Amino acid sequence: MKSNHTGVAHDPQTLPRPAGRPFLAAGVLLALLTVVLIATNVWLASRTYDAAWSQTTKTSRNLGHSVANQLDSVFSEVDRLLNTLSYMLERRELTAANLEPLQPIMVTHLSQAEYLHGLFVYGDEGQWLVHTQPAQALQANNSDREYFIAHRESRSTRVLISKPVQSRSTGEWIIPVSKRIDDADGRFAGVLLATVRVGYILKLLNGFDIGEKGAISLGLANGTIVLRRPYAMEDLGRLIANNPLMPAVNSARAGIIRITSPIDGIKRLVAYEHLPNNPLFVTVALSEAEILSEWRGAVQVQFACMLLVVSIIGVSAWYVFRSMKLRQASDRALRIAHEQIVQANAQLADLAEHDGLTGILNRRAFDHRFEQILGQSRRYGSPVSVLLFDVDHFKAYNDHYGHPAGDECLRRVAAALSKAVRRPGDVLARYGGEEFVAILPDTAAAGALEVANAAKEEVERLVLLHSASVEGIVTVSIGVASANGAAVDWTTGALIDQADKALYRAKHEGRNRVVVAGA
């Protein structure tokens, strides 16, 4: 009879015996049949899954390309219109006489373009010079608009597309498309502005089928949302911090990415593409749930059939292995008994190392750990410190409050010390009676002093009444000893002796204090 590593002996005759070869062969055959069936269904499901994504990716790219081209044609028309009007104003003074012939031309262009909300010419101070609006507000001025400030501060004459704003004249949401006007000397003379109806762009986006949970958006190069479907007013001109889409958009003219929307949290397949001739990009995002809805339906039917077949195999297996039921039951009982013995051994080992009153390590376990830690300290040349604690006037506490209260006092003091000695490598143990001891690896005297003071404060924070104490509460005295790992002559006994002498000094000097050996 041989003993296993837990110290529990077993009779080989009580261990489970292997099943007969016929049962093993039947089991292997049934298992192989089941695995092949499941693997085939998983492979088919994987192929159809890849096909669904491949088809959707192509559809998303084509849809994104179509949206980009349609929107590009709109903004390119606006760009050409602004360049035409700018050419007519070039090198002319923006006087009433020069601007008067421009107004009917602007009105004609406006009437021919459904997407235009208005055309405007502003002076160098933002004043309205000529426009297509039926009426002009008193003292109308646009010098505070972002596009006006941008043109005034930059000499670029390129057309600028800005985030949507609400028209001051009509209250309608519009997308400003503007261009700087210079005078004959090349100085800033004003701004030429065309405003595109947000409603018109939204109407274009609504013409694309993207499902119930899909989304289409038009954005500026910096990631600012110009317009998004589904439409929400708060999304107009919104800039999302740390948008997961922007690194991809900034690295390629077009592409596909799968992300979770930072706006509504829906997982989508996003096709993005920059407009060919304008500093804008579009995204067409299809919901992953909708993309996979048909695939999931087919897979559910497929796996339902597979489960039916597996169930039939299972029933057959039940009949085949019914004769093994009793043996399985006996094996289970043996396993449970074995686990109980292992658990009991573990509990005994734990009890052998821990103090029954406080739950922390006992003296025996402490001595073992101390030898290991001191050996590592010598091997790696690292410092180690020992803290020796003594509950002040504990005999008087026991005599006055009784032994049950004394036991509770030791439990609470141990818990308080554990809060201070909390690093994973630190060791706290009950050294005997009202004494506790701690080992602090990789800790020199200065660090040990900090831990000791923290432990003393934790005990004081308990505020356990003690009539025989000068402070009126339970306190501890602490002796600290430290050793450099390079000093190979240090032993556990020497360190404990040094800490004990420091503890004696702490008690001699009035208790409730920390004394470091050699200090």
Q: Give the count of alpha carbons within 13 A of 437, CB side only.
A: 27
Pairwise CA distance, residues 450 & 460, whole Å: 15
Phi, psi angles (nearest 5°) of residue 108: -65, -45
Work out the angle at residue 20's Cα, subtended by the Cα atoms of residues 15 and 25, and round it to the nearest 5 degrees: 130
Question: Under 8 Å CB-to-CB from 365, ≥6 apart: which residues?
Answer: 352, 353, 354, 429
Which residues are the active-site residues?
Answer: 434
**SS3 label, residue 265:** coil
Amino acid (1-letter code) at residue 192: L
Q: Are 298 and 51 in contact (CB under 8 A)?
A: no
Q: Count other Cβ atoms within 10 Å, centred on residue 134.
A: 7
DSSP 372-427: HHHHHHHHHT--EEEEEEEETTHHHHHHHH-HHHHHHHHHHHHHHHHHHS-STT-E
Report the Cα 8 to chain-centroid distance in Å.
Answer: 47
Q: How far is CA 133 from the centre of its chain?
A: 51
Nearest CA-CA partner of 249 in 286, 221, 288: 221
Compute the CA torsion angle 215, 221, 227, 229 (nearest 10 deg): 0
**Three-state secondary structure readout of 194-252:** EEEEHHHHHHHHHCCCCCCCCEEEEEECCCCEEEEECCCHHHCCCCCCCCCCHHHHHHC
Q: Please give the order of strands across the beta sheet that includes 476-483.
A: 427-432, 435-441, 384-391, 476-483, 514-516
State the angle between helix axes of 492-508 and 363-380 in degrees (0 to 180), rounded to the nearest 10.
110
What is the Cα–Cα distance from 432 to 361, expressed in whole angstroms?
11
Q: How buried is residue 202: exposed, middle or buried, by Cβ count under 10 Å (0-12/13-18/19+)?
A: middle
- Which DSSP state fits 310? H
